[in-house]
């Protein structure tokens, strides 16, 4: 099997323990070499633009992955600028020499549920394998019912047994216990002065506080 590199895209505003749990679950379940964590420049499908700058979001991602050996942070979408479409990012990875069959794009089940609205759907599903990780309130099993046209490509992956040979454009479903954490909840907690313990890596917590990120008005 040639599948080797995981790709985890996101706004990471900020990166949190849910994101790291997704990376770890996919790393283990699919026996990946490593995972590229790619902060988006300008995320599509959002009414509100990110609160922290691209620089701070990248810095926090780099701090967070320092304690997760399987991860590398990538500046691909930040250097490209503009709206960050996954199909374009995967194209850039192909241009850099990664064949579609070697890539696995990782998402949480809430994000994948909207896949039909992503740019270049359904073609983008042929640009990499996809792996969907459950999120509290979003079991992966419901995706077969929600996305009936894709059900035939979905394969359940049970922990610690990586699939051997898989067809092109497979959609792996990984049922994992990821923490009930979201960036939205974290930004809210910061506004109300609540602790981030159990929500973000301690180095990210320290970065947020030192720079006064996510406060109503700060220069950072
Ligand atoms: P926001 O609340 O701003 O949308 P978020 O916490 O959902 O932030 P994103 O940057 O939107 O974070 O998510 C990036 C990817 O990580 C998405 O595919 C999302 O589904 C996934 N993800 C985020 N948190 C979790 C979690 N706790 N469990 C599983 N997947 C998650
Ligand atoms: Mg989200």
Q: Is the pLDDT of residue 218 over 70?
A: no
pTM for the model stands at: 0.96
Question: Is 218 within a domain?
Answer: no
Q: Is residue 167 part of a domain?
A: yes
Identify the CATH number of the domain in which residue 196 sits.
3.40.50.620
Does residue 13 have its Cβ closer than 6 Å to ligand 1? Answer: yes
CA–CA separation, 124 vs 169, rounded Å?
9
Give the residue whose CA is nearest to atom 27 of ligand 1: 18
Structural domain harbouring 187: 5-210
Residue 141 lies in a domain: yes
pLDDT over 70 at 197, yes or no = yes
Q: For the chain, what is the domain count?
A: 1
pLDDT digit string, tens, across residues 33-78 = 999 999 999 999 888 899 999 999 999 999 999 989 999 999 999 9
Identify which of 13, 69, 66 has the alpha carbon closest to the alpha carbon of residue 203: 66
Q: Which ligand is nearest to the CA of 21?
A: 1
**Residue 108 within a domain:** yes
Query: What is the distance, to the nearest Å, from the Cα of residue 10 to the centroid of all Cα atoms in its chain?
Result: 5
Measured by CA distance, the residue closest to atom 14 of ligand 1 is 10
From 8, 18, 89, 105, the mutation candidate for ligand 1 (largest count of ligand atoms within 8 A of CB) is 18
pLDDT at res. 220: 57
- Residues 153-177 have pLDDT tens digits of 999 997 666 777 889 899 999 999 9
Structural domain includes residue 216: no
């Amino acid at each position: 099997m040639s599948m080797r590199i995981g790709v985890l895209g996101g706004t990471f505003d900020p990166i949190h323990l849910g994101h790291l749990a997704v990376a770890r679950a996919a790393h283990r379940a699919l026996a990946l070499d490593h995972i590229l964590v790619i902060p988006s420049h300008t995320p599509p499908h959002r009414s509100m633009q990110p609160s922290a700058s691209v620089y701070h979001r990248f810095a926090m991602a780099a701090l967070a992955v320092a304690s997760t050996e399987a991860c590398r942070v990538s500046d691909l979408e930040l250097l490209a600028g503009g709206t960050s479409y996954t199909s374009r990012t995967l194209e850039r990875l192909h241009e850099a020499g990664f064949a579609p069959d070697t890539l696995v794009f990782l998402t949480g089940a809430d994000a994948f549920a909207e896949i039909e609205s992503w740019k270049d759907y359904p073609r983008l599903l042929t640009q990499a394998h996809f792996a969907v990780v459950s999120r509290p309130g979003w079991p992966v099993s419901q995706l077969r019912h929600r996305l009936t046209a894709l059900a035939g490509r979905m394969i359940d992956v049970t922990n610690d047994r990586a699939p051997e040979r898989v067809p092109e454009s497979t959609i792996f479903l990984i049922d994992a216990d990821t923490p009930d954490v979201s960036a939205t909840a974290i930004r809210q907690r910061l506004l109300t002065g609540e602790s981030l313990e159990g929500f973000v890596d301690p180095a990210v917590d320290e970065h947020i506080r030192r720079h006064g990120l996510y406060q109503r008005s700060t220069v950072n």
